[in-house]
């Protein structure tokens, strides 16, 4: 549970206890649970264990064991299940625990039959007035755009394979217990399916064609030949899929541009390889744009603009209340504009609860020799600019950016034609990422052998053989030449989908 080497505890230690921050010198599950419950019922907050009130660090012994113990205790004892992150931070030779809590999306939260509330820097048991306020606030929160019912949407409009992949990843992360196996029960548990209706959040997260219902889900990625938006467009792509697919395709664009042969997954993006570009920082900026976007307006948009000397990501909507441009460069309380969306990304381990994503971005850019990203806000749009990130994409190849989308289309075609329906339906998100890795490598190398693919991707030969078999069945690749001298290439069918001739 140690956080990717980013140390933000120094910023916290400069602060005093408040409605959103409490220090405890000694670990006590019961005491910690009451504070966490109170944060859930107010504005969220951070509980730091191993630090006295005067900011004297005493540390926590067996921090790793206690962190896991506390995480499981909170998930099992507070109802409804909360989104809580327990992180280990190091101060000198001592370890402290930082428990980060979002404002609860299903207030009131209860611990051992009682509702706890935050009053100033104190945790108290809620009185009748405070309890009534929580119930009222919950009814107001249910009017958020993401929680409203999408009445026209039917179950056939939802990508249940993506939902199942989300269930698998949620179980692997261990961030919540009692995760339903049934897709509809899963969506129901997390507020995405209510009284027989899917919510707006469910549609943009898991919809097969969310653009049919919400045109504002579009994302535009443009490449210009000058440092101004009015310059000639070298490349222009609009993504219209659900959030997960769009994010995969966008991150594929940058991976492929820099020659990194792996698609988006929570694990692959955590690698610590020395890269030629701030991969994690760009990923974080893309995720932030999707999670904090104002989807309630049909003019809502995300624009990703690549210039010769910089990269800029812009998202429609304002910063969350209490967050300033200045605070983005330091430890701050994470306040998602769309908490339901954010919770699902958290369950899949695509984001953290703690408000250090922006701190991570700065840290990685500096570690790789890039300038720190710069945030700005204008005309109800938040911009993050990477001043010296140059994207060396070969725009004449006309193939790399569309591989993910091409595989998606071939799977859909295979399903519609009834060719081995069981196979195509069994292609999970994780498997799909592996297939994209193989196709990306073949696109770059051409006529490459299975043994070489296994070696390059660090996978077993049998695994690669199985995945090649799937790719051949859906019509993505074919073997050319003799068994000894030949290799795998992309099919004419896939190349046509990518707009490229063979």
pLDDT tens track for 312-334: 999 998 877 777 888 787 766 66
From the list 50, 61, 41, the residue with the least C-alpha distance to 22 is: 50
Q: Is the pLDDT of residue 220 over 70?
A: yes
Across residues 196-222, what is the average pLDDT? 94
CA angle at 206 for the pair 315 and 418, rounded to the nearest 5°: 135
Terminal alpha carbon distance of the chain: 48
Residue 197 to residue 26: CA distance in whole angstroms: 46
Neighbours of 485 (CB within 10 A): 9
- Site of tokens 């979002």: 102
From the list 142, 64, 125, the residue with the least C-alpha distance to 97 is: 64
Structure confidence by residue, pLDDT tens digits, 351-373: 876 556 788 888 889 888 999 99
Q: Is the pLDDT of residue 266 over 60?
A: no
Domain architecture of the chain: domains with CATH: 9-141 (3.30.950.30), 146-212 (no CATH), 215-386 (3.30.565.60), 403-497 (1.10.10.10)
The DSSP symbol for 461 reads: H
238 forms bridges with which residues in the sheet?
A: 220
CA angle at 139 for the pair 134 and 141, rounded to the nearest 5°: 90
DSSP readout, 256-291? HHTT------TTGGG-----SS-HHHHHHHHHHHHH
pLDDT band (50, 70, 90) for residue 395? very low
pLDDT band (50, 70, 90) for residue 233? confident
From the list 76, 100, 102, 72, the residue with the least C-alpha distance to 86 is: 100
Pairing relationship of beta strands 21-24 and 45-49 according to DSSP bridges: parallel
Residue 498: the pLDDT is: 67
Query: Which runs of consecutive H residues, i.e. helices, occur in 313-457?
Result: 339-347, 357-367, 403-416, 421-425, 429-445, 450-457
**Distance between alpha carbon 41 and the CA centroid of its chain, in Å?**
25
Across residues 143-152, what is the average pLDDT? 89
Contacts of residue 424, Cβ cutoff 8 Å, sequence gap at least 6: 411, 414, 415, 474
Q: Helix 279-291 to helix 357-367 angle, to the nearest 10 degrees?
A: 160
pTM of the model: 0.68
Residue 422: the pLDDT is: 57
Burial of 2 (0-12, 13-18, 19+ CB in 10 A): middle
What average pLDDT does the chain have? 84
């Amino acid at each position: 549970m140690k956080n990717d080497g980013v140390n933000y505890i120094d910023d916290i230690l400069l602060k005093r206890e408040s409605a959103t921050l409490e220090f405890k010198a000694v670990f006590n599950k019961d005491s910690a649970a009451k504070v966490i419950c109170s944060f859930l019922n107010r504005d969220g907050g951070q509980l730091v264990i191993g630090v006295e009130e005067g900011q004297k660090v005493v540390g926590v012994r067996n921090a790793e064991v206690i962190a896991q113990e506390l995480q499981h205790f909170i998930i099992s004892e507070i109802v409804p299940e909360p989104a809580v992150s327990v992180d280990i931070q190091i101060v000198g030779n001592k370890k402290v625990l930082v428990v980060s809590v979002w404002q609860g999306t299903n207030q009131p939260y209860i611990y051992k039959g009682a509702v706890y509330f935050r009053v100033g820097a104190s945790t108290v048991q809620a009185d009748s007035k405070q309890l009534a306020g929580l119930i009222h606030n919950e009814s107001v929160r249910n009017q958020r755009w993401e929680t409203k019912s999408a009445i026209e949407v039917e179950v056939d409009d939802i990508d249940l394979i993506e939902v199942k992949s989300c269930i698998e990843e949620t179980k692997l992360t261990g961030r919540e217990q009692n995760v339903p196996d049934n897709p509809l029960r899963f969506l129901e548990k997390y507020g995405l399916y209510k009284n027989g209706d899917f919510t707006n959040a469910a549609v943009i997260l898991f919809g097969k064609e969310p653009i049919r219902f919400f045109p504002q889900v579009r994302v535009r990625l443009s490449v210009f030949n000058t440092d101004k938006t009015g310059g000639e467009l070298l490349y222009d792509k609009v993504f219209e899929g659900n959030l997960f697919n769009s994010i995969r395709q966008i991150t594929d664009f940058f991976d492929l541009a820099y020659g990194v042969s792996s698609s988006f997954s929570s694990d692959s993006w955590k690698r610590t390889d020395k890269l030629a570009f701030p991969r994690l920082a760009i990923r974080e900026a893309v995720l932030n744009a999707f999670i904090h976007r104002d989807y309630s307006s049909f003019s809502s948009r995300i624009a990703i603009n690549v210039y010769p000397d910089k990269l800029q990501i812009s998202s429609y909507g304002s910063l969350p209340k209490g967050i300033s441009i200045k605070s983005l460069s330091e430890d701050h309380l994470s306040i998602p504009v769309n908490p339901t969306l954010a919770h699902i990304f958290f369950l899949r381990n695509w984001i953290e609860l703690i408000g250090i994503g922006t701190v991570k971005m700065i840290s990685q850019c500096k570690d790789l020799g890039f300038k720190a990203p710069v945030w700005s806000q204008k005309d109800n749009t938040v911009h993050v600019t990477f001043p010296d990130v140059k994207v060396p994409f070969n725009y004449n190849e006309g193939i790399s950016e569309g591989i993910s989308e091409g595989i998606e289309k071939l799977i859909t075609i295979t399903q519609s034609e009834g060719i081995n329906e069981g196979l195509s339906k069994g292609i999970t998100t994780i498997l799909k990422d592996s297939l994209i890795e193989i196709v990306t490598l073949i696109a770059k190398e051409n006529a490459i052998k299975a043994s070489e693919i296994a070696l390059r991707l660090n996978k077993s030969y049998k695994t690669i053989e199985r995945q090649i078999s799937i790719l051949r069945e859906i019509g993505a690749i074919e073997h050319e030449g003799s068994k000894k001298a030949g290799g795998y290439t992309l099919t004419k069918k896939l190349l046509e989908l990518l707009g490229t001739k063979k």
